Copies of this chain bind each other. A is one copy, B any other.
Amino acid sequence: MRVLVLGGDGFCGWPTSLYLSDRGHDITIVDNLSRRKIDVELEVDSLTPIRPIHERISAWKEVSGREIGFVNLDLANEFDRIVAVLNEVQPDAIVHFAEQRAAPYSMKSAKTKRYTVDNNVRATHNLLTAMVETRVDAALAHLGTMGVYGYGWSGSAPIPEGYLTVKVPTPDGEIEREILHPANPGSVYHMTKTLDQLLFSFYAKNDGLRITDLHQGIVWGTQTAQTAKDERLVNRFDYDGDYGTVLNRFLMQAAIGHPLTVHGTGGQTRAFIHIRDTVRCIEIALTNPPQAGSQPMVLNQVTEVHRLLDLAKMIGDMTGCEIAYLPNPRREADENELCVRNDQFLALGLNPTTLSEGLMEEISEIAARYKHRVDPTKIIARSVWRAGMETSADLMTEVPAQQ
């Protein structure tokens, strides 16, 4: 397949591009390098020494013999150029990762809230209108988030794959209707993914676009078989309070001997997936698109669920670190159960990597190996989220001198 990977320089996009290239697909990466620029803005850097995109692509050519195309393009703001790229590449499939993807960053300020909404909604809508305009009939896979569902809404019912069959009262009794699972986003970032869902529903219905929305859990793990082939191909590892997800922050804290910081009770249960499974899921989604005229297919890109406190304890047991409790800035339940359906992915052949298998590799191969690159002042999340949380300085704890 000819595949466009929008956001192909990012944490999910880069390993997806290499995996699909390795599997024989022709890849063109479209990226405006915004993720690297936000690192500059936040004065942080990937723990792993990621290389410039052109060096990455040359290294891949050396290692694999395969070419990857690259277009530096801002999907949210260069509509005419994405139209030209679609016309030129005539992709069979498109992967859309080109969105601002950190919840804490999206809540930092009016500026980051507005950037997140503008960038994400415009990127998605520009892509959809460009597909309609060019009549490129590509299968589109978009990275959504488990956060669209919220946590705890369904009681003991497992979170379905996007759609929910409900009973609606009528004067004569009740009728059954299949609905998109109600949206319960916890941040501006998550909200943008609920907006994307409505854009996808409309363009699938009105224009017959074939769209799969992948509601991904928290990704962990750094390397795939492809990114591990050469250090110049290494994937990014974010540990800072904005972009570092919970597991990465625990890993870094453990590596430098800082207590593992849990927001709230740690009773929050979340869904996880290893980056190696993410890239496989993307290919499965692209090769099994919905029919034209169908509603968007929604898959839960998730392989296991854990309570955050259990994760902290697991890493604490492996490394000897203590746990420290901090206030939780998010409006969410202290504790929740979580059961997520991922039947379609399992039926389509996904064979998950579990935390118990992969965690030790992260501790030794990534966190320990690169800990000399860490800035320990950046690990704690400091986004304020709303008025009344201005004492976010309270969220800081003393950090030990760098090891």
Contacts and interface: CB of A to CB of B under 8 A. Distances in A.
Interface of A: 79, 110, 113-114, 117-118, 121-122, 125-126, 129-130, 132-133, 135, 153-157, 164-172, 174-175, 177, 179-180, 182-183, 185, 188, 191, 194-195, 198-199, 201-202, 205-207, 331, 385-387
A110 B130 contact: yes
A175 B201 CA distance: 26
Nearest to A148: B198
A331 B295 CA distance: 14
Given A110-B132, A114-B126, A157-B171, 5 more contacts: A154-B168, A154-B175, A157-B168, A157-B170, A191-B198
Closest CB pairs A-B (n = 8): A166-B166, A157-B170, A167-B167, A179-B182, A110-B129, A110-B133, A191-B202, A117-B125
Given A117-B121, A121-B117, A133-B110, A206 B331 contact: yes
A125 B125 CA distance: 16
29 contacts: A110-B129, A113-B129, A114-B126, A114-B129, A121-B121, A135-B387, A154-B175, A155-B168, A155-B175, A156-B170, A156-B172, A157-B168, A157-B169, A157-B170, A157-B171, A164-B168, A166-B168, A166-B177, A167-B167, A179-B179, A180-B183, A185-B198, A188-B202, A191-B198, A195-B195, A195-B199, A198-B198, A206-B386, A207-B387
Contacts of A386: 132, 206-207
A155 B331 CA distance: 36
A121 B198 CA distance: 13
Nearest to A191: B202
A263 to B, nearest CB: 16
A331 B194 contact: no
Given A113-B129, A165-B169, A198-B194, A175 B157 contact: yes
Contacts of A122: 117-118
Contacts of A153: 177
B118 A114 contact: no
Contact of A182 (B117, B130, B180, B202): B180
A253 to B, nearest CB: 28
A93 B180 CA distance: 33
Contacts of A201: 183
B166 A167 contact: yes
A166 to B, nearest CB: 4
A54 B175 CA distance: 54
Contacts of A155: 168, 170, 175
Nearest to A116: B125
Nearest to A121: B121
Contacts of A121: 117, 121, 195
A180 B183 CA distance: 9
Nearest to A195: B195
A171 B188 CA distance: 32
Contacts of A207: 386-387
A166 B175 CA distance: 10
A191 to B, nearest CB: 5
Nearest to A113: B129
